[in-house]
Amino acid sequence: MTRMLIIGPPGSGKGTQADRICGVLGIVAISTGDIFRANVKGETPLGIEAKKYMDNGDFVPDSVTNRMVRDRLAQSDVAEGFLLDGYPRTSPQVDELDDILGAAEASLDVVVQLTADDEELVKRLLGRAVETGRSDDTEAVIRHRLDLYREQTEVVVSRYAERGILAKVDGLGEMDDVTARIMDAINKVKG
Ligand code: B4P
């Protein structure tokens, strides 16, 4: 069983790689971004609330996000393991996840940090904008999301590094090569 996170700046390939890794490991992928987008599309109360923040590239408030993740992790399909994509993104979200999972040090097997330079990230996301028309993939909003990553999510990465479960992986290059690098990194950390 593997319980893991994938963290990285917008456009680093989190969603792309999460699906591939889950296919290999036979675990369920949980993307907070995907859950929010499904709710926005369905015009649910959660979606209406989340849209106010997502369109501007801001984080949805921790209280809303934490409740949603707590409910999702209470479902039975996570018993065989899971990969959280895009959560936690803030230090209070790390505390919440520790609380949900129990003993902090024992709760997660591995945290993968995907890296890429800003120029590549902006290029990928502008490319995605052409394909999907995602409302938060305009250049100004992308730059704001990159700033937020530095301000609020890099501390999340440091906290997992202190626990000795962080695997830093280069997200540049062919998708298959990135997947292979991630699998190597997972196997090294898990021993
Ligand atoms: P996310 O859905 O997590 O959006 P993202 O950061 O852009 O990552 P995504 O997974 O979609 O993109 P990827 O890098 O895979 O979050 C969206 C919004 O939801 C946030 O801004 C926030 O408002 C809200 N939210 C989500 N979680 C939250 C939380 N915990 N707390 C508060 N708010 C939260 O891929 C990007 C593009 O790159 C794709 O087009 C892909 O095809 C391409 N790509 C991937 N790998 C590539 C490679 N190796 N080479 C070339 N292109 C590649």
Q: Which atom of ligand 1 is nearest to the CA of 125?
A: 37
Q: Which two tokens stand for residue 100?
A: 């949900």
| Percent above pLDDT 70 for the chain | 98
Residue 111 has pLDDT above 80, yes or no: yes
Domain 2-182: which CATH class? alpha beta
- The full 3-state SS of the chain, as one line of letters, equals CEEEEEECCCCCCHHHHHHHHHHHHCCEEEEHHHHHHHHHHCCCHHHHHHHHHHCCCCCCCHHHHHHHHHHHHCCHHHCCEEEEECCCCCHHHHHHHHHHHCCHHHHCCEEEEEECCHHHHHHHHHHHHHHHCCCCCCHHHHHHHHHHHHHHHHHHHHHHHHCCCEEEEECCCCHHHHHHHHHHHHHHHHC
pLDDT digits (tens, 9 = 90+) for 11-64: 999 999 999 999 999 999 999 999 999 999 999 999 999 999 999 999 999 999
Say whether 12 counts as a known binding-site residue. yes
Distance CA 158, CA 81 (A): 23
- ipTM of the complex model: 0.88
Annotated binding-site residue? 181 = no
Q: Which of 51, 89, 124, 181 is catalytic?
A: 89
Catalytic residue among 3, 14, 51, 124: 14
CB proximity list for 2: less than 8 A, separation 6 or greater: 25, 27, 81, 83, 109, 110, 186, 190
Look at residue 95 in the predicted model and tell me its pLDDT: 96
Ligand 1: nearest atom to the Cα of 173: 49
CA of 34 from ligand 1 middle (Å) equals 9
Q: Please say if 128 is a catalytic residue.
A: yes
Ligand-binding site membership of 123 (annotated): no
Q: Is the model's pLDDT at 104 over the cut of 80? A: no
Calculate the average pLDDT of the chain.
95
Of 38-42, 60-64, 74-78, 105-109, where does mean pLDDT reach its minimum? Answer: 105-109
Q: Stretch 107-121: mean pLDDT, rounded?
A: 95
pLDDT at 191: 74
Predicted local confidence at residue 62, as pLDDT: 98
**In this predicted structure, what is the pLDDT of residue 138?**
93
Which of 134, 143, 159, 168 is labelled catalytic?
A: 134
> Which residues have a Cβ under 8 Å from the Cβ of 150 and sit 6 or more positions away?
none
Are 153 and 142 within 8 A, CB to CB? no
